[in-house]
Amino acid sequence: MAGRNKGQRIAFVASDRPRGQAALKELVKMYGNCDPDDAEVIVALGGDGTLLDVLRAHMHHDIPVYGMNCGTVGFLMNEYNPAALPERIAKADRVVINPLRMIATDGRGKRHEAMAINEIALLRETRQTARITIKVHGQTRMETLICDGVLLSTPAGSTAYNLSAHGPILPISSNLLALTPISPFRPRRWRGALLSYDAEVDFEVQDPEFRTVLATADNYEVRDVKTVHGSIARDIEMCLLFDAGAGLEERILEEQFEY
């Protein structure tokens, strides 16, 4: 359908949920639609999961993404309002983020690579606790973490799984990563660490045949991992758009004062 969006080439991408599909129909009728590869901006309709899927699919295309909440939490989304959408996009604040690159090796020696916008997480697969060695820049910092799991989070993802695991909220411009244990058993009082943005983090699973562990990069999953490497992919930049005055920095700040 030819665009009717006042000069902007907008591509709409929606979740399969009824709210997302209804919003897609309404917005395409108002503004037209174009192929994402030809767009100046992509509008994601759904929840945070939909936005993350769109960012992953187009992270190499240098196209800004503007999300509108048709889901539940929608922390990364703007309010759904079909009116004056091109004007809102034109005035939007831009936030550039880098994903984490995960390189995992499974029990068969197969190498898996994936990108995580929120976090890389290691999780036990069975009733047995995981035993994980943690290295930073090649130096062993924790010989054995006995736990349900551990995660490495970006600032953008620090309010997601990381926060639920009692990790710190990171300002988007902090140039830090959060290393957060999930239900640590030993050392019981370890609450994690703040790492520099350029940290190279390696996780080694101890006794992986008996204490099986899976690794995730957001929603990409690798089972029976032996080693996992995580680091910021500085060669990839993704642009998120937020309504003026309601940017990600402000949302993260507000989150820290909720009670």
pLDDT tens, residue by residue, 199-248: 999 999 999 999 999 999 998 999 999 999 999 999 999 999 999 877 67
CA separation for the pair 29, 140 (Å, rounded): 57
49 is in an annotated binding site: yes
Q: Which CATH number fits domain 100-232: 3.40.50.300, 3.90.420.10, 2.60.200.30, 2.60.40.1180?
A: 2.60.200.30
What is the pLDDT, as a whole number, of residue 49? 87
Which of 16, 37, 38, 48 is flagged as catalytic? 48
DSSP secondary structure code for residue 41 in this structure? E
d(CA 140, CA 49): 34
Q: Residue 66 — left, alpha, or beta (φ > 0 → left; ψ -120 to 50 → alpha)?
A: beta
Per-residue confidence (pLDDT) for residue 72, from 0 to 100: 79
Q: DSSP string spanning 175-209?
A: -EEEEEEES--BSTT---EEEETT--EEEEESSTT
User: What's the chain's Rg over C-alpha atoms?
Assistant: 20
Overall average pLDDT of the 39-46 stretch: 96
Our answer to whether residue 202 is catalytic in this structure is no
Is 6's pLDDT higher than 70?
Answer: no
Fold category of 10-97+237-256 in CATH: Rossmann fold (3.40.50)
What was the pLDDT predicted at 7? 56
- Given a cut of 70, whether residue 3 has pLDDT beyond it is no
28 CA to centre of own chain: 27
pLDDT of residue 73: 75
Instruction: Write down the domain spans for the chain.
Output: 10-97+237-256, 100-232
> Per residue in 145-182, is it b (16+ CB within 10 Å) or e — as a string?
bbbebbbbbbbbbbbbbbbebebbbbebeeebbbbbbb
* 173 among annotated binding-site residues: no
Report residue 1's pLDDT band, with 50, 70 and 90 as the boundaries: very low
Does residue 33 have a known ligand-binding role? no
Kindly report the pTM of this predicted structure: 0.84
